[in-house]
Structure 1
Amino acid sequence: MAEPAVTVRNAAKAVVLHDGRVLLQRACWEGQDCYFLSGGGQHSGETLGDAVRREVLKETGLDVTPERLLWLREYIGANHGSAPEDHRVEAIFLCRPEGDPNKLGGHAEDDVQTGLEWVELEKVPGLNLLPHGLRPLIADLAHDEPPTRYLGDIS
């Protein structure tokens, strides 16, 4: 039997910070209430910076400026009980909002998205933020801006 074809999908995610808070998507995913970072797949011919700007605007209605790459994360589905062909590489950018950060409401929210919320950085470790491996990293942004890191295959 032939192995399923694996296509690695690139994505860009945003850690949007404002006044000690991070912008998160509330969601209902696989029967659980949770949170995600905004962002999504990169289109052919598009830079990762352009992808994160486009996806955040689409999902939140907020224009952002990606200031720098924070982390590079992989997700290899076969290592986490998911589809073996699910392999993603996510570039996670530190972003600053342009304009009024309280005017939220995207024109093409994700199917699982139930809302948007500015969350104090100190509260992030107690949330069901997916992937869980990002919770302490995001909370630590309240104290300093760490060097760019490769996180590997975390869930």
Structure 2
Amino acid sequence: MSATVDSSGGAGTLHPDGPRVGVRAAIVRDAKILLNHYRVRGQDVYDLPGGGQEHGETQESALIRECVEEIGARVTVYGLACMYERLVDHAPRTGDEIGLFHQLDVVRWCGLAPGEEPGLGTVPDHSQVGVAWLPIRDLGEHTVLPVELSAWLRADPSSRPVWLGSLSA
């Protein structure tokens, strides 16, 4: 069984034999985090760059590929930031019904590779209009998905859990 939806509103595949694995890049510079910027029904929405890991692809390779596609820049992948799962039947950015979607997202700390600067990538997500460096302290003033990740980023680093649990978006 397959479908052409994913939890972010873009293309992906549903797998009846288990959750999809997603990789996300947490790129921080000067107390700001780099996020994909989307315009959805007239609203600004932000999310970490990343997407689905393909069969036979390492997480590092998947994250580098996804960042080139979405932010137009190669990244250096560092350690694990956090993990969470999404079990949803509506696309978080659009609210559209998508059928059951289950994804385990692995967020890794990353840095831009030497000489790289982000912009709109070679294969941006549906509704993606660019990227934005948002001050971490101000994330609560923006629609950042998933909402729990925004709160996690604003928290004291010494109190951040690695496992964020099952998130609704």
TM-score (norm 2): 0.77
CA contact (8 A) 1:12 1:41 kept: yes
Name the CA shift for 1:103/1:39 in 2 (closer, same or farther; >3 Å): closer
Task: Show structure 1 runs of 5+ residues with no match.
Answer: none
Deviation at 1:78, TM superposition (A): 5.1
| Kept in 1: contact 2:118–2:131 (CA 8 A) | no
Give 1:93's match in structure 2, choosing from 108, 126, 134.
108
Aligned residues: 150
Is 1:153 aligned with 2:169? no
Q: 1:68 to 1:145 in 2, by over 3 A?
A: farther
For the aligned residue pairs, the C-alpha RMSD in angstroms reads 2.6
Q: 1:59 aligns with which of 70, 74, 78?
A: 70
1:18–1:97 Cα contact (<8 Å) kept: no
CA distance in 1, matches of 2:24, 2:119: 17
Amino acid at match of 1:151: L
Counterparts of 2:25 and 2:119, CA distance in 1 = 15
The secondary structure found in structure 2 opposite 1:138 is helix
Alpha-carbon spacing, 1:47–1:58, altered in 2? closer, same or farther (3 Å): same
Tell me how far 1:72 sits from its aligned partner: 1.0
TM-score, structure 1 as length reference:
0.83
Paired residues for 1:9-88 under 5 Å: 9-29=20-40, 32-77=43-88, 83-88=98-103
CA distance in 1, matches of 2:114, 2:68: 12
Q: How many percent of aligned residue pairs carry the same amino acid?
A: 26
Q: How many Å separate the matches in 2 of 1:76 and 1:63?
A: 29
- Unmatched runs of 5 consecutive residues or more in structure 2: 1-14
